[in-house]
Chain A
Amino acid sequence: MGSIVEVRGLTKRFDELVAVNDVSFAIQEGEVYGLLGPNGAGKTTTISMVSCLIEPTSGAITVDGHDSAREPGALKAALGVVPQEVALYPTLTAAENLRFWGSMYGLRGDALKRAVADALELAGLADRAKERVEKYSGGMKRRINIAAGILHKPRVLLMDEPTVGIDPQSRNHILETVKDLNAAGMTVLYTSHYMEEVEYLCDRIAIMDHGVIIAEGTLNELRDVVGGMDVVAVKVAGATPEVLERVRAIEGVEGVESADDALEVLTRSSGSIMGRLVSTLESEGAHVTSVSVTEPNLESVFLHLTGKSLRD
């Protein structure tokens, strides 16, 4: 299958700030393509340019054969957009919201009715269609937010961090919805700073930082970036920044990430550094409760490429 989305040399400047810098990627039809990166990496700016919400400073975007500069209307008709914020009208009911967004994509009459009913079913909210959205929980709003983006059965669905700030149950529902939509043939461009989601959903992944793509490939290809490395996971109390600096200085340590009482150390020789790692931590006053060695993941890749955590 050919590329349904092509982005070439995309750049966006806001005065002195270069939010997106010479980004290029192509998405094959039927793929789920992930843009992974921390907040401020340029994911939302990229997706905003693809959806013609903001104009690129330079570069070219083609969706389903339509160029964003020459045929923005046709390009937008091929897209469904699920924005990061819940972009719905709180005083309208779920059904009224969906009817409005369906109409905006040209659906009328019976086709609109069917699309609204299908979307409500997909969101699992058919029985609450006549309730105002303002009365919904955060997760329910997110589900209707997605439903509003797929009413017209777009060829490509853009999803910008669709699971931010919701409960695990709703998150699982959304992830399964994305899987189902993709299984039905929809191409998806999915942005997130949650590594687990991207690992679970995406066929190919681009890792972004500071407005540029620093790595791209399948999950296995990206893991190969840190090929031969292990992640030593340590549960430790009292790991101060000074302690972390001492750990980074240990020979063989490629990167260190800490969160709460956990420490992840990227290394090519887990066996040889384990002893020094524990003794360094204990000598600095930290209290180690467990140590284990795991396979590298996207977090490890990001840590290896940038020296910092996705959560930073």
Chain B
Amino acid sequence: MRNLFTIAAKDTRIMVRDRAALLVMLAMPLGLIFILGSALGNLGEGDSLDAEVAIVNQDAGETGERFVDGLTSAEEIDAVFNIHVREDADEVRTDVERGDLTAALIIPEDLTERITRGEPAPLEVLQDPGSAVTAGVWAAVVRAGVAQASAQIVAGHTLAEALAAPPSAGPPPGADASGASAGVSHGYPGEAQELELDAVRVTELEVELEKQVSMISYYAAAMSGMFLLFGGMFGAFSFVRERREQTLARMISTPSSTAVIVGGKALGVMLIGALQFLVLLVGTRMLFQVDWGADVLAVVLVGFAEVLAAAGLAMALAALGKTERAIGGIAPAFIMLFAALGGAMIPAEQLPSWLLPAQVFSPVYWTIDSFLQLMQGGALVDVAPNIGAVAAIGIALLGFGAWRVRYE
């Protein structure tokens, strides 16, 4: 069993002397993070997402109309979303399901009536599950608008009750949710935020964002997710080289079992991946001020799951390719496919809807999503299912590789 670590340590030593591998695994991702992050700007600084969203106002009274005016007339919101005011709620629901719209707001037909009666009036916010980040921003915008609008409405319609009510302990929910929420207030001037309100309630808010992710942070997550898999390619190179140069045969002739040898090779890939991840974390933090989130353990576990996937990929590639040349051909294709599906090249929500189901097979997708959630304030509990998914993909690849790989 100790030989497992002996093999892993030997592979790590060999890898850190391989300048070409270091260039691909460290210099390239850092360079790409810088180039893509710089070229594509910074979300937090107000660049547009160009996300397509829709509002359907079914309210017969004036409240819905005022709400729509508030959302569509705010410049800050317009800079981030392309808002379409639509008539048919069912059609909008279908468009969101298909991914043609990132998110939507549907205002019920009895909104004004309910508010007049002092009853809760639920709004319907629809989100494309494949565009969780952008849709989450939209939900936060709506929430902030609702908070301020409802304050206005109550101040106007039930003034006597409002004046009799005690002031709330803090600001309305969502008022600090995003920079864009300030834009809502342009459409709803007034000072009624101190009232405790329950007149309008937002339903189906699946993602609550506490902060946005800059493009350089996005690409730090994306490139890390992608380039950690390149460790798998170099791991496969190592295995095939050992097979060609007979060192693998020599290892098999030692008292170690093939399970220990395969395990040692996989552990080596993971050790190298862990070092690579550490350099990327520290490098992006120091060079680009990337904030990976407060939950360090969760960030480490996400990285660990991805390097497990890289180890699995190494064995699977070693099983599929007989030579380094063959692996050099198929490995980048696999990794790029995983990366494209996972949103490492363009945000995942901008992929065609028919491709979205395939994302579940990409470890890069789960990894990027996890990193983004953690950067936005998420915790281990939020990304645990993603970590499980990446680990499962890694174990499946490792199992396939160990089953199919040739040792001679």
Asked if B289 CB lies within 8 Å of chain A CBs, one says no
Q: How far is the CA of A259 from the CA of B247 in the complex (A)?
A: 35
Pick the contact of A91: B3, B14, B253, B254 (CB < 8 A).
B14
Chain B residues, CB < 8 A from A79: 253
A-B interface, 4 closest residue pairs, ranked by CB to CB distance from nearest: A87-B246, A87-B250, A85-B246, A104-B254
Asked if A83 CB lies within 8 Å of chain B CBs, one says yes
Asked if A111 CB lies within 8 Å of chain B CBs, one says no
Asked if B170 CB lies within 8 Å of chain A CBs, one says no
A100→B10 contact, CB < 8 A: yes
B10→A92 contact, CB < 8 A: yes
A-B contact count (CB 8 A): 63
B10→A89 contact, CB < 8 A: yes
Q: Identify which of A53, A79, A91 gathers the most chain B CB atoms within 10 Å of its CB.
A: A53
A104→B251 contact, CB < 8 A: yes
A89→B14 contact, CB < 8 A: yes
Number of A interface residues, CB 8 Å?
28
Within 8 A of B (CB), among A75-115: 76-77, 79, 81, 83-89, 91-92, 96, 100-101, 103-106
Chain A nearest CB from B211 CB (Å) reads 45
Binary flags per residue of B337-369, CB closer than 8 Å to A gives 1, else 0: 000000000000000000000000000000000
Q: How large is the interface on B (under 10, 10 to 19, 20 to 34, 35 or more residues)?
A: 20 to 34
Contacts known (A83-B246, A83-B250); A104 close to B14, Cβ less than 8 A: no
Chain A nearest CB from B307 CB (Å) reads 22
Interface residues of B (CB under 8 A from A): 2-3, 6-7, 10, 13-14, 17-18, 245-247, 249-257, 408
Q: What residue of chain A has the Cβ atom nearest to residue B256's Cβ? A: A104
Q: How far is the CA of A104 from the CA of B2 in the complex (A)?
A: 9
Interface residues of A (CB under 8 A from B): 48, 51-54, 73-74, 76-77, 79, 81, 83-89, 91-92, 96, 100-101, 103-106, 148
Chain B residues, CB < 8 A from A74: 255
A104→B249 contact, CB < 8 A: no
B247→A104 contact, CB < 8 A: no
Chain B nearest CB from A162 CB (Å) reads 13
Chain B nearest CB from A97 CB (Å) reads 9
Chain A residues, CB < 8 A from B247: 87-89
B6→A53 contact, CB < 8 A: no
